[in-house]
Amino acid sequence: MSSSTLVEKTASELSDLLSKKDISSLEIAQACLTQIDRVDGQVHAFLHRDDTDFLAQAKASDERRGKGNLLGPLDGIPVALKDVISVKGQPLTAASKILQNYISPYDATVTRKLKEAGAVIGGRLNLDEFAMGSSTENSAYGPTRNPWDLNCVPGGSSGGSSAAVAAREAPLTLGSDTGGSIRQPASLCGVVGMKPTYGMVSRYGLAAFASSLDQIGPFSKTVEDAALLLEVISGHDPLDSTSFPSEVPSYTANLSNSQKPCVLGLPKEYFGEGMDDEVRNAVDLAVEFYRTQGHKIVEVSLPTTELAVPVYYVIATAEASSNLARYDGIRYTTRSEKAKNAIDVYAKSRGEGFGEEVKRRCILGAYGLSSGYYDAYYLRAQKTRTLIREDFNRVFKDVDAIITPTAPTPAFKFGEKSDDPISMYLSDIYTISTNLAGLPAISVPCGFTQRKLPIGFQLIGRAFEESSLLSIAHAYDREHKFGCVVPSLVKE
């Protein structure tokens, strides 16, 4: 089977081919490397590769399979990771100069689980520095480009993770989502991206941005593949104090439950001004599909939606300013060569090592936590966050899931919003609320604009009901499979 054919296969298809011994893991790995060599000079999804280790893992998988020691359906399947997730012996830069020489001394819990499942871990993927951004323009090592239009952003902050799947450089990737950083780039790149319930996937080994909001999740071509990957990385972890002690169901086995009619809520606040007409039309068609399949569609209201963006940027920046205080030039971070005294080490190392967006958010966060302003900003934001969560709790008494657009627009051009932080922040207006409420949400591709730019819709579910959410998403995805449409860049 040719390399170009292999890279277009879904992870589930590759797993089936491996089980039939029609292909080897080494062939898959070599096909991925060939594809990366062919397109990544234009896309720039990867920050680091260790091809020797990647091929060695694939060879080890083939040897296990030959001895009958299969570790699971992901055994031999490549998975690339956003460069905020620790892999022992590999760089972790968070796309920042301040960590340019850092090598992870341990595996993140999700990394360990992938290794135990036999996945072939390959490469570190680009992002907005410390996951702060919506376009992957904030990387210290250059932007990632959208495989559907190289003049457009891939979304962010997990732009490298979404672009790598869209460009067929990896069948599966992991990203992190603090306010939409998995779902928004998934929408803009035409792939599936899911944020699990807060606490469902361990954050141990994830470079923290905002600890009460961050969550690791999968990117894939299909909902079925997302379920396959999520099943492996989910579960309680004693190393993460926020990890929830729950059993992990078989997400893939439960996908067929999608045939059961359900009630889907359409929040009127998500369908107002500011949404691109082509996005609206594509989402309307997705809603109509569910209606024709026998699902009940009802209008609901989430009145605190308009408060989500300001609340998020108070809480997220406050937590970022605290979390990023550890990057001080003293311990494992790059130290300024211009420092003449101890104060200089802190000030100059951070000044030279952090990019503009990271500095902006740290300053905003420190201000919100400062004496005399804590009650007015941070405490008030946390109280409003409770109201946002209560809004969802009320709505979920009557509906099984909520359906919304994922992003208000398709992918935008480089530089279009970089000079206007507020405009950039509003790119996540439909995704932020679920992080504040800790709920699971998934972005599913649902069509294209006239310029052939992808569009996605979002499904939001009840806490820890990923299985139900995935089955509802799968009902649409198995019929349409927009995530399997190949960008022209890949065909060339």
Active site residues: 82, 157, 181
- Separation of alpha carbons 304 and 294, rounded Å: 30
Q: Which is nearest to 235 in space by CA: 243, 227, 225, 224? A: 243
| Backbone φ, ψ for residue 158 (5° rounding) | -85, 45
Place of tokens 């083939």: 62
Q: Which is nearest to 353 in space by CA: 339, 371, 373, 368? A: 339
Strands (E), 144-250: 172-176, 192-195, 216-220
- In 10 A of CB 41, how many CB atoms? 8
Alpha carbons within 13 angstroms on the beta-carbon side of residue 61 total 33
Helices (H), 302-437: 308-323, 342-353, 356-369, 380-395, 421-425, 432-437
The H-or-E segment that residue 123 falls in is strand 120-125
- Separation of alpha carbons 175 and 169, rounded Å: 15
Contacts of 264 (CB under 8 A, 6+ apart): 287, 290, 295, 296, 297, 298, 399, 400, 401, 402, 403, 472
- Separation of alpha carbons 177 and 158, rounded Å: 8
Place of tokens 């995530």: 483
DSSP label of 146: B
Q: Which is nearest to 128 in space by CA: 478, 481, 425, 444? A: 425
Are 215 and 242 contacting, i.e. CB atoms less than 8 angstroms apart?
no
